[in-house]
Chains A and B, each alone.
Chain A
Amino acid sequence: DAKTTQPPSMDCAEGRAANLPCNHSTISGNEYVYWYRQIHSQGPQYIIHGLKNNETNEMASLIITEDRKSSTLILPHATLRDTAVYYCIPKGSMGKIIFGKGTRLHILP
């Protein structure tokens, strides 16, 4: 399984875009990049995933570099409810979700 590097914590002002980076330089060609988040005292929640094209859904956008060695999760208009730990996880189609340390995102009022 590919390893990831994420900043341990980040702050973002409410209403601004939160940009969370992830380095996954050892990602395999068949591994997707998944993003999950864990709000305090809850189970992890799926956000988005992608292979090499940028992706967008109702929660976030995912930007993957052309060499696939890094990606950025974008929360376009962060709210206080987006305060959570965000995990970037490379995963193959038959692979397991293996969590790293993640980024603790604080949304500031």
Chain B
Amino acid sequence: SAVISQKPSRDICQRGTSLTIQCQVDSQVTMMFWYRQQPGQSLTLIATANQGSEATYESGFVIDKFPISRPNLTFSTLTVSNMSPEDSSIYLCSVEVPPGGSGGFHNEQFFGPGTRLTVL
């Protein structure tokens, strides 16, 4: 398994500002993901962040708006730039880890607790 922490847990920001969300994992992982969950909605994948390479963004998300850093195998940041009220969401970090010692053969994906962002 993997234990994921995110900072901040929540924040209230003004329109036009930027917020950087941190994701820390207790073990080294290759693949990290960032998701957004708008109020009352399901999770939407923003991008995949692999250490040592540029993040890969899903359709509808761009690097200028959501720059991502992945400096090592246990840490990543997501910045929400030039925020507007439409960016009010929960932002979740997720990691993929190899199967555990039980002999499983399919990677498992774990999720952090999320960062609740409100933009005024």
- Residues A99 and B43 in contact, CB atoms below 8 Å apart: yes
- Residues A32 and B113 in contact, CB atoms below 8 Å apart: no
A85 to B43, CA, bound (A): 11
Additional pairs, 14, CB under 8 Å, beyond known A43-B92, A99-B42, A99-B45:
A32-B106, A42-B114, A43-B4, A43-B111, A44-B111, A46-B109, A46-B110, A49-B106, A96-B33, A97-B45, A97-B94, A97-B109, A98-B45, A99-B35
- Residues B42 and A101 in contact, CB atoms below 8 Å apart: yes
Binding site of A, secondary structure by majority: helix, strand, loop or mixed?
loop
- Residues B113 and A42 in contact, CB atoms below 8 Å apart: yes
- Of the four ranges (under 10, 10 to 19, 20 to 34, 35 or more), the interface on chain A belongs to 10 to 19
CB of A90 closer than 8 Å to a CB of B: no
CB of A45 closer than 8 Å to a CB of B: yes
B35 to chain A, nearest CB (A): 8
| A52-96 interface with B by 8 A CB criterion | 85, 87, 93, 96
The contact sample of 18 A-B pairs, CB cut-off 8 A, is: A38-B43, A43-B4, A43-B92, A43-B94, A43-B112, A43-B114, A44-B43, A46-B108, A46-B110, A85-B42, A87-B42, A96-B33, A96-B45, A96-B48, A99-B35, A99-B44, A99-B45, A100-B42
